[in-house]
Amino acid sequence: MVNRINNKIALITGGARGIGAEIARLFAEEGAEVIISDILDIEGNEHAQAINGHYFHLNVAHEKEWQVCTDKLRNAYGRIDILVNNAGITGFNEDLGPQDPENCSIEAWHSVHQINLDGVFLGCKYAIGLMKEYGGSIVNMSSRSGMVGIPGAAAYASSKAAVRNHSKTVALYCAEQGYKIRCNSIHPGAILTPMWDPMLGNDEITRAQNIAMVASGIPLGTMGEPLDVASAALYLASDESKYVTGIELTIDGGILAGSSASPKKVSNLLVVD
């Protein structure tokens, strides 16, 4: 199957690298007009050029930036058909200090929620306005960590659990209003992206050992790739999922299917995603 989202207008937040970049690449390959947004302007612009897409600077935690982005999209296209709310942080990469429930600072708690949860709320809010005339699909990036407790990543787990629930609220609201807008959440687990770097270590030997350790606790025996998540996002963005709304789609190699869902220590940090 090719051109599964041909001529659809797709905005992907956090699209400069990792899972977001792979979603952008795959969507462009499948015929979409792709707009990447991020705060990593150099990487975002380079990736947008590589896939013949467009780049907008957008800090998803700031409503005024969403308003500017929305005006640009409305003026350029009159609508969007797909929003992937992918932008997110763990708190580890951002040097926000301890992330456990006892020692996490209120500032760190707020910082993680502002990106991961407020950003999704604002994305959904403004996407509804851009989609309600013609319909569309909102795909919210939650996490395995939004479905289980994560002792070493309290703010991250809390924010991703809220994304899961808000996705269902948006799905039901749009259905209730008669808008042909679907909203679903994706829950990746153990996908090898830059978000994992603080947990895996810097030198090649330590990194390889830690990847093997993580993989040993996954039923399918390997960590996932960004394309695994991008393929799920493509399905939810396409008309193939026209009867699918309010679901949570887990992409985790079977972790949540059994006892290996319990968190494991890796390099003195807890596995979060």
Name the residues annotated as catalytic: 156
Check: CB of residue 104 under 8 Å from CB of residue 155. yes
User: What is the Cα–Cα distance from 273 to 220, expressed in whole angstroms?
Assistant: 16
Check: CB of residue 137 under 8 Å from CB of residue 236. yes
**For residue 190, is it left (φ>0), alpha (ψ between -120 and 50) or beta?**
left
* Amino acid in position 65: E
Residues with Cβ within 8 Å of 231's Cβ and at least 6 positions away in sequence, in order, are 26
User: What is the Cα–Cα distance from 99 to 109, expressed in whole angstroms?
Assistant: 8
What does each C-alpha distance from 186 to 45, 147, 229, 239 come to in angstroms?
26, 11, 8, 17
DSSP alpha helix (H) spans, the chain:
18-29, 41-50, 63-77, 106-113, 119-131, 154-177, 197-200, 204-216, 226-237
Check: CB of residue 223 under 8 Å from CB of residue 13. no
Strand pairing category for 269-270 and 265-266:
antiparallel
User: What is the Cα–Cα distance from 196 to 221, expressed in whole angstroms?
Assistant: 17
